[in-house]
Structure 1
Amino acid sequence: MSSLPSRSRQISILLTVSCGFIMAMLDVTVVNVALSDIQHDFSVRLASLVWVVDSYTLTFAALLLLGGALADRLGARRVYVIGLALFIFASALCGAAGSVSILVGARLAQGAAAALFVPSSLSLLTESFEDRHVRAKIVGIWSAIVSVAFASGPLVGGVLVHRFGWRSIFYLNLPVGLVGIALAFAFLRPSRRKAHALDMPSHALVMIALAALSFVLIEGPGFGWSSPAIIGAALLVPFVLLLAIIRERRTQTPVIPAGLARNGTFWALNGIGSCMNVVVFGEIFVLSLFLQKVDGETALGAGIRMLPVMAVFAVANFCSGHLSARLGGRRLLLGGIGCAGFASLAATALGTRLPYGWLIVPIALVNAGIGFAVPAMTAAVMHEAGQRNANIGAAVLNANRQIGALAGVAGLGIVQHLTGDWAESLRIGFAIFVACLAIAFMLAWWRVHAAPKELGPGEASAAH
């Protein structure tokens, strides 16, 4: 395809590939403010609410690498459209769910669908704009749209739940997804297919390990940590991961190239990404329920009160590239993590002794610090991966960040089960965030020695 000089065509393609990513980002955060209403309608325990959030993250994380491989093998447009269609169907099931079990099953399908169309989005932009400068501009705008969608999730969810009920947050995906499919056929040409071996056993092993880990973290408090089911699942996780590592080393077509798999800095950066996502998604989960359970807010009220701390994250994301050019990626990464760590420590000390209006300050600083650090971390990952392994490097990072999100939500669920008090859970949650950020800081100090100075637009998009 040409470099598309027509501005209207550029906008049309941008809107086309944005439809899927907007739905994926909104579904990560929008459901949190609906949890209280879901619990009231179905009369379910806390573990079921955690499953509602983490079931989406589970399949999303486990299948991201497979989604990218399928996009190469079958063509990005075809996989993108298939993913959108599956997401529409799964969203309709979520909205019509008559029980929390059906809702969780439909959320699993949503995550699997998102894993298909999310990796295809950037591929489609790359294919559609051959001119490097035009592509950089378009990808930058696309990244901004992603940040806004992520930050506005709680507010959008609050408005929908308040006006139309919690089911509307899923039904909203139907018209958006249908528009995305129509636009894809209208403005995107069929993608070139690339030879790409699919190592299905490795993907299956990762899926089993994540499912077992989710079961342990979410159901452990209810079943009891000494129950045979929990112990068995806990032992299954390292065993299956060991099998996956052995298979990766012996197969001629590993999912992760050998050079990347042996790169210690690359894996340290992935660990940093996981730690930061524990903080971000654990915070969103516990804060949205704290505002509703303790402060008595409606879903709309919670969404409005969360908007400032979410907006700070997006603004810092946008400004990170300019600061990185001045300070260097390593300094920005360490500074951002350090700021978030000290702010989490302040939030832990303050607890709930002050009104939420005062707590906004340290919470906003946590998100600002992470907002500055995430693009710098992503640029460092892309630097380590190099051009040859850029796509797989971004996919591995995003998968590990989703694992961090899963662990953050499940971990805060465990805290709430142990304390039975949302106010105390918020305070302990920030203490956990201090520990996670301390680990991230040490990994950055130890392994990240020469992070790139400037975050390119294509790399910025991978930060989400």
Structure 2
Amino acid sequence: MIARTDSFSASVLAVGAAALSFFLITLNASMVTTALPVIGRELGGGSALAWVLTGYSLALAACLLPAGVLSDRIGARRAFITGMLVFAGTSVVCAIAGTLTMLLAARAVQGAAAAAVLPAGLALLTAAVPDPERRSSAIGRWSAAGAVALVVGSPAGGALTTAFGWRATFWANAVVGLVTLLAAFAAPNHHSRPQPEHSGPPVDRRAAGISAVTGFAVNFSSYGAIFVLTLFLQDHLGHSPWTTGLVFVPMTLLIIPANLLAGPLTNRYGVIRVLVAGQMLMLIGLAGLCTTPEAVSALIAWLLPIGIGAGLAAPAMTTMMLTGVPGPRAGFGAGVLNAARQVGSGAAAGLFGALLSSGALSGVRTSLVIACAAVLVSALLATIG
């Protein structure tokens, strides 16, 4: 009985550390975005100010794959703690930065640290919860932690910046990072021992491939839709940033219960059905947005199935990847999936940004049609793959 209790406590600590880290990485991006105008007024920088976000995102995307491999080689717990120490440390450096150059350098290192933490955290979760059904539910809670951060990030960043200045957002990151570190240090080391590079069973290439393609398509379409609608609402319909942000709140709120439902649904109906169902809901929402991009109330309504669908698909694709990749290579699998998702988000911003410049309404509709096509192809691949 004592052994079972200790094992349960160890699992809770490992899953808690992984979920907190995902919460922190997501919270960091949204809070800093809110504080960006105030940072510009104090540190200057003009167009270079955008690199406070871009430098972090590029470093995160570029380092995900090597960080996943490193996690498997040195052990997930060691990689996680090292990455989190650097992340918390660079948060302090950002908070005390006296120049934009210092802030940009710290943000780039922080992005690399986040890349180390993300796959290592999922590898910790995988080792701590070996039972497939319990793991699906744990992954749902892990995804929900990121969704909660997405909901509270902008309001929290705005409140902290208004009350204490932009530096408070980075101090908040450091505090949450410290709590995450405490949970990781308390988790037992045997959950994440280093493994030989090619030990264990081979990778299920079909599962890994479908998961990676789905990750790309879901981020490409969901983040792409948010990107084009944000620009369209502000630049062409004249809505304020505050009003524009409120448009996406109902959709974002629905991601949380969808994340939590994904695990039980996956256990009952199978990962492929949940994956395809989520993408079909996204397809319905995206198709609806194509018809009514100028009516704000209709936009809010059509964004709801996108939020539910993405909320179901994200835990399902993560479960599929971690099931298809053997435990000793869980870091690599998590790195592949999250790299695919980052590439999807970046590709959407680049492509849809170019389309919007050619014509506002037509560019929005063309972008949304392309997003529909990406989700449809991904769902078909999952069905017949």
Return the TM-score normalized by structure 2.
0.78
How far off is 1:71 after superposition? 3.0
**Which residue identity does 1:432 align to in structure 2?**
S
Whether 2:119 is the aligned partner of 1:119: answer yes
- Distance in 1 (alpha carbons) for counterparts of 2:12 and 2:203: 38
List per-residue Cα deviations over 1:391-447 (Å, max 9, x = no partner). 53333112211111222334444456x36x9xx38x734642431331332243145
Change (3 A) 1:381 1:162: same
Distance 1:315 1:179, change over 3 A: closer
Partner of residue 349, structure 1: 291
| Letter matched to residue 188 of structure 1 | A
Q: 2:306 aligns with which of 343, 362, 366?
A: 366
Whether 1:439 aligns to 2:374 is yes
Q: How does 1:392-403 map to 2 (within 5 A)?
A: 392-403=332-343
Residue type of the partner of 1:438?
A
Q: Who is 2:187 aligned against?
A: 188
CA 1:443–1:131 in 2, change beyond 3 Å: closer, same or farther? closer
- Segments of 5+ residues of structure 1 without an aligned counterpart are 198-252, 451-464
Instruction: Say if 2:230 is the partner of 1:295.
Output: no
The alignment-based identity, stated in percent, is 31
Paired residues of 1:79 and 1:120 also in contact (CA < 8 A): yes
Instruction: State the distance in 1 between where 2:12 and 2:282 align.
Output: 36
Alignment equivalent of 1:339, drawn from 281, 296, 303: 281
CA distance in 1, matches of 2:209, 2:139: 26
CA contact (8 A) 2:207 2:324 kept: yes
Q: SS at 2:384's partner residue?
A: coil
Q: Distance in 2 between matches of 1:55 and 1:385?
A: 30
Q: CA deviation at 1:139?
A: 5.8
> Does the residue aligned with 1:172 lie in a helix, a strand or coil?
helix
Higher relative helix content: 2
Amino acid at match of 2:108: L
Deviations 1:64-100 (A, max 9, x none): 2332333343333332222122112322343444555
Aligned to 1:158: 158
Deviations 1:42-78 (A, max 9, x none): 3633x853x4434323222322233233334333333
Instruction: Kindly provide the amino acid, as one letter, of the partner of residue 296 in structure 1.
Output: S
Query: Which of 256, 265, 281 is residue 223 of structure 2 equivalent to?
Result: 281
Within the candidate set 345, 348, 352, 1:408 is matched to 348
CA spacing shift, 1:138–1:40, aligned 2, 3 Å: same
The separation in 1 between residues aligned to 2:319 and 2:133, in whole angstroms, is 19
Match of 1:395, SS?
helix
C-alpha contact (below 8 Å) 2:272/2:383 kept by paired residues: yes
Do residues 27 (structure 1) and 43 (structure 2) align?
no
| 2:13 counterpart of 1:69 | no
CA deviation map 1:149-179 (0-9, x unaligned): 2443333333334434444322211122223
Moved more, 97-106 or 19-28: 97-106
Q: TM-score, normalised by structure 1?
A: 0.67
- Listed one character per residue, the Cα deviations across residues 234-263 of structure 1 (whole Å, up to 9, x for unaligned) are xxxxxxxxxxxxxxxxxxx79xx9865xx4
Residue type at the aligned position of 1:23: L
**1:310 and 2:245 equivalent?**
no
State the 1:116 CA deviation: 1.6
Matches within 5 A, 1:244-283: 263=205, 266-283=208-225
Q: What does 1:217-228 align with in structure 2 at a 5 Å threshold?
A: none
CA distance in structure 2 between the partners assigned to 1:120 and 1:400 by the alignment: 16
Shift of 1:336: 2.8
User: How many residues are paired up?
Assistant: 379
Q: Which position in structure 2 is the counterpart of 1:85? A: 85
Return the offset for 1:17.
Answer: 4.4
**Hey, what does 2:171 align to over in structure 1?**
171
Distance (Å, rounded) in 2 between the aligned partners of 1:170 and 1:323: 37
Query: Matches of 1:381 and 1:11 in 2, distance apart?
Result: 22
Comparing 283-292 with 437-446, which one deviates more in the overlay? 283-292
Which structure 2 residue ranges, 5 or more long, are not aligned?
none
Once the two structures are TM-superposed, the CA of residue 312 in structure 1 deviates from its matched residue by 1.6
Q: Which amino acid aligns with 2:316?
A: A
Query: Which residue, 43, 46, 49 being the options, matches 1:44?
Result: 46
The answer to whether the 8 Å contact 1:3/1:128 transfers is no
**CA contact 2:355–2:363 (8 Å) conserved in 1:** yes
Whole-angstrom CA distance in 1 between matches of 2:134 and 2:319: 20
For the residue of structure 1 that corresponds to 2:194, the secondary structure is coil
